Structure 1
Amino acid sequence: MCGIAGAWRKKGALDKTQFENALNLMQHRGPDAMHSIKTQNLNLGTQRLKIIGIEEGNQPRSDKSGNHLAFNGAIYNYPELANSLNISSRSDTEILFQLILNRGIVKTLKEIRGMFAFSFYNAQEDLFYLARDRMGQKPLFYYQDEGILLFASEIKSLKKLMQLNDIAVQINENAIYHYLCYSNIPEPETIYENVFAIPPAHFLKYQKGKTSITSYWEHQYLPKENLSFAEAKVKVQHAIENSVKIRLRADVKKGLFLSGGWDSSVIALEASKHEQNLQAFTVEYPFQTSQNESKIASETAQKFGLEHEVIRIDKSPLTLLEKSISTFDQPLADSSALPNLAIAESASRHVKVMLNGDGGDELFGGYRRYFTAKNISYLAFTQYLNKIIPNGERRSELGFLKRTARITSSSDSERYLLFTTDMFQDHDIPSLWNHELETSTSNLIKSHFNKNLSDLDQLMHWDRTFNLLSGILVKMDRASMAYSIEARSPFLDHQLFELMNQFPDSFKISGFNRKHILKSIYAQQLPKSVTKATKTSFEAPLGNWIKNDFRTLIKDLLLNPQAKIYKFVNYTEIMLMMKGVKYQERNTQYMIYSLLVLEMWLQKDN
């Protein structure tokens, strides 16, 4: 696991010390070793976190022919690939390097299984490749023109490289609008103009000033496989066990994040079959909240023989908020990033690898909105109740019914944001937004629409494209790497997604039962406290924080007409929202939080 950065310049390489200053901004991603190389036109460097091949995995990897590799991530099937190459090595970096040399970039990408972002440079052909894993777990950002290619694992380092090359770093106004709608900035767009993320499951080719980006994998939902539910259960259980098992391959101590829910409990069960000294970590808040699941998690840990530590979130939420602003290189309005940072900080005292349950909802159908999507035609009648159903707490049954009524009353392009963030939308632009838009949110959503998919498959695909990629995975990567923790997610295995994509909707949602196939497999193997518990999302107590801990900060920043956010959004409109005059039916807590995060980020960036 590493932070990587590079610069290719037609006019010659950067000064080595200057380049390493940019690289060192990512020291948290790899504090164990820093190395860089400089050739006539190239700077390439890594900040390494030693996880696999402690002594053998040093990089950048180079040979006498002028091939250079910088790699961030973990290739879980590296032993099998080593055998296929007839190579004896315990380094997944070395295996990746040899695989590219022997089989080329396309075959390599199709064979490796894991999370990764890497650069490969062939000096003889003056050819660069940048590549990213299928789900987009590991980040990689770039800037390019005809005479220069700059890239880094984090935007802070890329921004520094741009400044060293006298390239203007300007705010992307369009990205700010999308952020206020999605609560994150949808990739490949970033907060800065002309800075992009390599899309997941793609590789970039750069040669002689020309760039192309090519896909090597994508989600395939059709055709559906014709098999029984019993046969599917056997396949899924085997795939989950295998996915967890290979993610235990590491030369350092491992742990896992354990909540009171199904996903992390399943991973705890499967991991305990293959690892004896796992340590589990659970969050607990210092006040009563539905998010406190430590008692259930403790029972699960005891059942599967895991060490268990309860992490009490006793740090000031303001302290965690300030840490999140400095950790995330662009605005991210997910308040659960704050406890994620606390978990990573505590876990880093004990382990270097942490398994987690990310992707379980998007894979198996865990969100309430998936029930709505699957049954949207039967719920059409609720649109006639929209005006008579009062607004309720969002997580309550009344709140869910109200949102369902609004969803069924809306067009397809509006539904996704109602299903998820329920913040600002395109029809708010005339009263809200102070600039012209290049791309509306509805057009962005429509660009990922497939009329041949079921309503459930379409919603799950949108979630994977927006919410998972640009929100959940960003949060997990940056929060864990801020404390030099490698976060591994068994449910994000691409082979698991290929398998689940083949199954009909009824295998995921059956009646009112979500995650139908997962629960059918593990219902008898998990503690009853897990299987009988009401589903809760891993969210911070944002309402409590807004009313108490953030109250003064919100007053000082958002009520000030001179705040930086009002360059982009209308002050009067935001005041109407905060006074409860407009947008009462929406997720106003997150709307306020997103504006607060944006203002703090703008102040820090400038």
Structure 2
Amino acid sequence: MCGIVGMFDLSGAREIDRQLLERMNETQFHRGPVEGGLYTERALGFGHRRLSIIDLASGQQPLFNEDRSVVVVFNGEIYNFQSLMQELIALGHQFSTHCDTEVIVHAWEQWGEQCVQHFRGMFAFAIWDRNQQRLFVARDRMGIKPLFYTLLPNGIFAFGSELKSLLCLPDFSHQLDPRAVEEYFSFGYVPEPRTIFSNAYKLAPGHTLSLTVGEIQLQQKKYWDIPFTPTTSASEAEIEDELVARFRDAVASHMIADVPLGGFLSGGVDSSAVVAMMAGLSATPVNTCSISFNDPKFDESVFATQVANQYKTTHHSETVDKDDYGLIDTLAGLYDEPYADSSAIPTYRVCQLARKRVTVALSGDGGDENFAGYRRYHHSVVTEKVRSALPSALRRPLFGLLAKHYPKADWAPRVFRAKTTFEALANDLAPGYFQGVSLMPDRLRSHLFSDNFKRDLQGYHASEVMLAHARNAPSDDPLSVVQYLDMKTYLPGDILTKVDRASMAHALEVRVPLLDHQFVEWVSGLPSALKLHGSEGKYIFKKSMQSYLSDDILYRPKMGFSIPVASWLRGPLRERVSQAVLGPVMAATGIFNMDFLKELVDQHQSGRRDNSAPLWSLLMFEAFLRNLDGNASQVIRQAAH
């Protein structure tokens, strides 16, 4: 696991500023504290920070082929590198290391752009081919590893594993993208491919980017997508057996390392299942890590301990104060753009704990998206059945009217909180799902922004993100569509971003076997009824794990990695919320309707409404602006303009 940076002059004429490249590289020191490497030639510069995992003695980057005409920088792991190495040797290639990085170089020589089709792993890499005068950049299929890029006005293309590397560039504009602001306050993160800055982008999962000297066109291609193509007609019992075999294979492939390895263990279904597979594959006790909270309402450590005892793992647990809100400014520095998932706090802490014991940890991320584990999936499928039973000419005005006039009742029992359901029923599947997952739904966001900022948006609405992905969905099955939407937005934009930044802050590599692309392909093609069975999510996954985990683990209510944000904002963070949300930094941007922000604060702190989600997103937005230090004033001036 590493950090990579690079600069490329599209004209092919200019030398790369090596000192600037080094500054870019050093912003990501935390991603690879073991060693760093730089390489420059005319028009090209690569930088790399290394966290050694495989072939510790060699494998330094940038890494070359035999005649040094091809060079690569790479962040991630290629899990099938050993078999690929043997295949490439048989084809006549010569290797000087035993690391997965060199496989990429020779795979490029052998297969060109199609090399990505041969890789099983998580990766972001850049290849320079001097003979072709071509730069090739790629990101893994699920978006586990990040890659940011910009094309500067002077014709320099630059990229990095984190946005902070691009912020070093003197010609990089810090102007905010109004559409990204709208998306952030809808999703709680900025979805791919946008970033918060108008001239920087994320390379989308499953995409490559190609640039050639003398051409100003960036050629971006999609090389993979989640298929949702039926994969089996076997019986349920046969599917359970095959699922276990495929899951075990995915976990085994993710356990290759030359450094201490362990697993996160929350006590939930997914992490417990990963640990169960690891225990069966390991000759020695598995290292497991979990955190507990000093408030039983947020603590599930008893279940983690149960699994640890069952599999006799070497278990490490630490208790975290539920009021661990001192990390707000730290998180703003880690993420480089606004990020409002409050579970980033406990994720940071569990990564901090794990790094004391291991260098690589396997996690259970991806299980909910793969097997329909979120409660919202059941709600979405039921809502779609109601939609399909009514003609849209009747449904839209009827439920639109009910949604408009039904009171927002956070205080009421869940059965009476129908406003969101009515909003969903008034829409079609994708926009309805958007309303359901929005951090700040339309009825709030319509009051959030100033009139000037609304003009800057030019009518843009964040639901366009969902609508665009829905148009590309490979299935019309309602459950498959919403799973696909999450795999394109929430999974890479929120979950995987959270884990990447939190883990790399501690130089910890986190691997996600449930997102092994071969496993994802197969699972996506299972019948929807085997994922969501009635109201039971993860039906077939839980059934297949019954021989490995107790019903206490498999069938207890889902807790998630939650923290008491609502009470923080009324208690210990009360003054900070008022000062940040209503303070001069936010007011000076010209983005917000400050009267509405005051209303949000007053409603929440008086207890009349639970506005914790929008207030937390505003708090983190203000922290993002301040984190830009000397650049903050520039951001504020440009946003106001």
Decide: shared fold, TM above 0.5: yes
Stretches of structure 1 lacking an aligned partner (at least 5 in a row):
none
Residues 388 and 197 of structure 1: CA distance in aligned 2, closer, same or farther (over 3 Å): closer
Residues 585 and 544 of structure 1: CA distance in aligned 2, closer, same or farther (over 3 Å): closer
Aligned to 2:38: 36
Residues 426 and 418 of structure 1: CA distance in aligned 2, closer, same or farther (over 3 Å): same
- CA distance in structure 2 between the aligned counterparts of 1:425 and 1:388, rounded to whole angstroms: 15
The amino acid of 1:148's aligned partner reads: I
Deviations 1:559-597 (CA, angstroms, capped at 9, x unpaired): 336634752121112222333399x99972110000000
Aligned to 2:392: none
Aligned to 1:578: 601
Aligned to 1:408: 425
Instruction: After TM superposition, give the deviation of residue 282 of structure 1 in Å.
Output: 1.2
Matched, 1:437 2:440: no
Aligned to 1:109: 116
- CA distance in structure 2 between the aligned counterparts of 1:565 and 1:421, rounded to whole angstroms: 26
Residues 437 and 516 of structure 1: CA distance in aligned 2, closer, same or farther (over 3 Å): same
- CA distance in structure 1 between the aligned counterparts of 2:524 and 2:608, rounded to whole angstroms: 34
Deviations 1:236-277 (CA, angstroms, capped at 9, x unpaired): 211111111110001000111111210001001001111224
Q: Is the 8 A contact 1:423 1:588 kept in 2?
A: no
RMSD: 2.6
Aligned to 1:2: 2
> TM-score, normalised to structure 2's length?
0.88
Deviations 1:446-485 (CA, angstroms, capped at 9, x unpaired): 1112485121111111111111111111101011001000
Aligned to 2:639: none
Q: Is the 8 A contact 2:5 2:160 kept in 1?
A: yes
**1:391 aligned to which of 396, 399, 409:** 409
Bigger helix share? 2
1:95-494 equivalences in 2 (<5 Å): 95-106=103-114, 108-144=115-151, 147-160=155-168, 162-163=169-170, 166-207=171-212, 208=214, 209-223=216-230, 225-275=232-282, 276-289=284-297, 291-314=298-321, 317-378=324-385, 391-392=409-410, 397-398=414-415, 403-425=420-442, 428-429=445-446, 432-433=449-450, 434-435=452-453, 436-437=456-457, 439-450=460-471, 453-494=476-517
Instruction: After TM superposition, give the deviation of residue 19 of structure 1 in Å.
Output: 1.5
The amino acid of 1:507's aligned partner reads: L
- CA distance in structure 1 between the aligned counterparts of 2:406 and 2:163, rounded to whole angstroms: 47
- CA distance in structure 1 between the aligned counterparts of 2:249 and 2:269, rounded to whole angstroms: 18
The amino acid of 2:546's aligned partner reads: A
Residues 427 and 592 of structure 1: CA distance in aligned 2, closer, same or farther (over 3 Å): closer
Residues 540 and 345 of structure 1: CA distance in aligned 2, closer, same or farther (over 3 Å): same
Instruction: After TM superposition, give the deviation of residue 510 of structure 1 in Å.
Output: 0.8
Residues 260 and 585 of structure 1: CA distance in aligned 2, closer, same or farther (over 3 Å): farther
- CA distance in structure 1 between the aligned counterparts of 2:109 and 2:133, rounded to whole angstroms: 15
- CA distance in structure 2 between the aligned counterparts of 1:487 and 1:562, rounded to whole angstroms: 36
**2:54 aligned to which of 52, 70, 86:** 52
Matched, 1:21 2:38: no
Structure 1, 38-47 or 561-570: larger mean CA deviation: 561-570
SS at structure 2 position matched to 1:7: strand
Residues 405 and 338 of structure 1: CA distance in aligned 2, closer, same or farther (over 3 Å): same
The number of aligned residues is 599
The amino acid of 1:448's aligned partner reads: H
Q: Is the 8 A contact 2:383 2:424 kept in 1?
A: no
SS at structure 1 position matched to 2:489: helix
Deviations 1:185-235 (CA, angstroms, capped at 9, x unpaired): 011100111111111111000012331001110112245643332232222
1:527-566 equivalences in 2 (<5 Å): 527-560=550-583, 563-564=586-587
The amino acid of 2:497's aligned partner reads: V
Deviations 1:159-198 (CA, angstroms, capped at 9, x unpaired): 21x21xx343322222111100110001110011111111
Instruction: After TM superposition, give the deviation of residue 40 of structure 1 in Å.
Output: 1.7
- CA distance in structure 1 between the aligned counterparts of 2:259 and 2:127, rounded to whole angstroms: 27
- CA distance in structure 2 between the aligned counterparts of 1:222 and 1:172, rounded to whole angstroms: 37
The amino acid of 2:534's aligned partner reads: G
Question: Percent of aligned pairs with the same residue?
Answer: 29
Q: Is the 8 A contact 1:73 1:115 kept in 2?
A: yes
Aligned to 2:611: 588
- CA distance in structure 2 between the aligned counterparts of 1:2 and 1:75, rounded to whole angstroms: 13
Q: Is the 8 A contact 1:71 1:117 kept in 2?
A: yes
- CA distance in structure 2 between the aligned counterparts of 1:66 and 1:204, rounded to whole angstroms: 20
Stretches of structure 2 lacking an aligned partner (at least 5 in a row):
390-397, 633-641
SS at structure 1 position matched to 2:383: coil
Q: Is the 8 A contact 1:561 1:571 kept in 2?
A: no
Q: Is the 8 A contact 1:565 1:595 kept in 2?
A: no
- CA distance in structure 2 between the aligned counterparts of 1:193 and 1:491, rounded to whole angstroms: 34
> TM-score, normalised to structure 1's length?
0.93
- CA distance in structure 1 between the aligned counterparts of 2:529 and 2:609, rounded to whole angstroms: 30
The amino acid of 1:391's aligned partner reads: A
